[in-house]
Amino acid sequence: MKNSLSKAERLCSKKWIEQLYKEGTSFRIYPLKITFMLHSYTTEFPVMIMFSSPKHFFKHAHDRNLTKRRMREVYRINKHGLMAKCGIENKKYFISFQYANKKIEPIAIIESSLKKALIKLEEGHLKPNPKQ
Domain limits, the chain? 7-121
* DSSP 8-state secondary structure symbol assigned to residue 80: H
> What's the pLDDT at 111?
96
User: Phi, psi (5° rounding) for residue 2?
Assistant: -80, 155
The mean predicted confidence, pLDDT, of the chain is 90
pLDDT per position as a tens digit, 18-48:
999 999 999 999 999 999 999 989 888 999 9
Local confidence pLDDT in tens for the 132 residues of the chain: 678 888 989 999 999 999 999 999 999 999 999 999 999 898 889 999 999 999 999 999 999 999 999 999 999 999 998 988 888 888 899 999 999 999 999 999 999 999 999 999 988 755 655 554
Beta pairing class for 47-52 and 93-99: parallel
Which one of 3.30.1330.60, 1.10.645.10, 3.30.230.10, 3.40.50.410 gives the CATH number of domain 7-121? 3.30.230.10
- The rounded Cα 64 to chain-centroid distance in angstroms is 16
- The rounded Cα 52 to chain-centroid distance in angstroms is 9
- The rounded Cα 105 to chain-centroid distance in angstroms is 18
